[in-house]
Structure 1
């Protein structure tokens, strides 16, 4: 039993369900250079879908559909039949396979070996694709992260961190240490700090009294002076000052301008704001995070993971949970069509072994 009085199994399943639901919610508008906050809300207003309480509505016409990602047909409300394949979920599955194969003593080199065995090259992007190519060319970590890699501080390592938090409930430092070992295969600097922070955030979400406490606890695992930590603290301070959600995001966008829509730091700002202004309400957390723009499916996935851990699977509203049909599509070899419940059960077993 967790301090909140719910079973660990329910909380871990909540994390998996939340990650997948948040990813599905954000997937159609995952193009931050086009889908600004204003455009996302305009789309929702056209469909009379504000406040957002369910998956995105289908586009009203061809013009509205033109900017959506091709996967929108499997991700909008009324059309969700299990999860569509996405790297934000693939890496959670691959992380689970890593821990089952090599245990908590895994090496960064073993992370790379598993990628080559389990993950198709064309299903990797940005820093992960560079690291994959470098592995094939015979490079070893940390050169896999630094050689010819302009994406070292982008969000890829952060989206790989969940399993380390799920398997170390209430132990953010241990979760962060494992996430770092994974992240340095492909990232440096704030890219690595983002993964450490996310793993610690999810681990802390199991035991923290409030989501704000979880955000604060996660800051303790990264250097206080790094840009990621300064941005997260700034988001928390703006929230504490009672500035509105939109004004907070406008302020943070100005302060992180120029980093690009896939960089870890501005996305951590959107994610932090979504969590804090969502205030432990599952639906509101997902909605605000995705409406915040930038890398919407990645941010939605991580926000959903935290929110799902906080409330547990039984408390996730059915409009998010039921259409997933307990089924995951995945490019990870051997996992396509796996049950979400099975993934959660295997994660809980690992969490139990970590305690021994």
Structure 2
């Protein structure tokens, strides 16, 4: 795939600015949309849609509505009070956004030649231990105990193929527009600090997906391209191809997710494989429409905020910031909360501009 020209022509540069900002806004908005129902063992697709029906919010075209009963309020994550429509004033803090910020800081500090060891050093310097989860917390503990990669990923870490590395990957796609293999290589170097196998492939796939969205003619082409950077025999690749085949057969979105749910039964709701299926279905059936993409993805359940964030990033790159409807952008007030030391209260537009400056230097 041809790399986006970041140097020649004002129009080209303006389009790239808009699409990188679209990726940041899409990631944050998708994350906020899914945050209140981020508990996949309770908030199934059926329960999410039941909640939306009780609130008269189907079809969903905005952030989740507030609860209509005490029982619904109790079932939502506590963050719902600042993540539902009418209550949002800037983004909530969340690891799905923290890692994009930390990845930006990594590249600004160490450049594109960063090492996995430097990723770990930056975690210890900039990221609070209690704001890490699953594989990242295991790796952080291993780092603090003096272990080095790849042992940080494998020692006493039962979460090696969960979704954590995938949610860290978008920044590598944003700084490598139209260069999916380079994006995947950067994401792999980051991912092996905490993950193995499909956990690493998930990060490579997501980075390539975001990168491909800059130059692909549509969603399907971006998904096809992203598959080329991971082993074809991996379970991740087979699952994504399965979603593609069901989509191509004109099966509906719900029936596609039902089929894949049966085939991935037994995997935890934070595992990479079933969540990649939900993301892929949201992108395909969303058809490039930003609102439809993130709402279908979140309604798909499992790790809703992470899936909404990744799908929102891809959709935001595809359409650009200017085309994201205002109900998703305006409540964010161009402000992001973050647990990464030194970045709380950062302006989203500034983060995007700093990302764009890195994209200027790709080979």
TM-score (normalised: structure 1):
0.99
2:126 equivalent to 1:118: yes
Equivalent-residue separation in structure 2 for 1:10 and 1:74 (angstroms): 27
Matched, 1:301 2:309: yes
After superposition, the C-alpha distances for 1:174-213 in whole angstroms (9 at most, x for unaligned) are 0000000000000000000000000000000000011010
Query: Residue by residue, what CA displacement relative to the aligned partner does 1:264-304 show, whole Å, maximum 9, x if unpaired?
Result: 00000000000000000000000000000000000000000
Task: Look up the match of 2:135.
Answer: 127
Aligned-partner SS, 2:163: coil
Say if 2:16 is the partner of 1:20.
no
Structure 1: 5+ residue stretches without partners: none
Of residues 144, 147, 162, the one that matches 1:139 is: 147
Equivalence for 2:48? 40
CA contact (8 A) 2:108 2:358 kept: yes
The equivalent position to 1:195 in structure 2, one of 193, 197, 203, is 203
- Counterpart of 1:87 (choices 95, 99, 102) is 95
Deviation at 1:321, TM superposition (A): 0.3
1:51 to partner: Cα distance: 0.5
Unaligned stretches of 5+ residues in structure 2: 6-10
Q: Which residue of 1 aligns with 2:80?
A: 72
Per the TM alignment, residue 2 of structure 1 is displaced from its structure 2 partner at its CA by 5.6
Equivalent of 1:231 in 215, 239, 250: 239
* Distance in 1 between residues matched to 2:90 and 2:245, nearest whole Å: 38
Residue 240, structure 1, aligned to residue 238, structure 2: no
Partner of 1:341: 349
Tell me what 2:175 maps to: 167
1:319 alignment partner in structure 2: 327
In 2, Cα distance between equivalents of 1:124 and 1:243: 38
- Partner of residue 160 from structure 2, selected from 146, 152, 160: 152
Query: 1:239: Cα distance to partner?
Result: 0.5
1:258 partner SS: coil
What is residue 186 of structure 1 aligned with on the other side? 194
> Is residue 251 of structure 1 aligned with residue 259 of structure 2?
yes
After superposing on structure 2, the runs of 4+ consecutive aligned residues of structure 1 that deviate more than 4 Å are 1-6
**1:354 Cα deviation (Å)?**
1.5
Corresponding residue number in structure 1 for 2:8: none
Q: Residue 90 of structure 2 contacts residue 335 of structure 2 at CA under 8 Å; is this kept in 1?
A: yes
| Displacement of 1:64 | 1.1
Give the superposed CA RMSD: 1.2
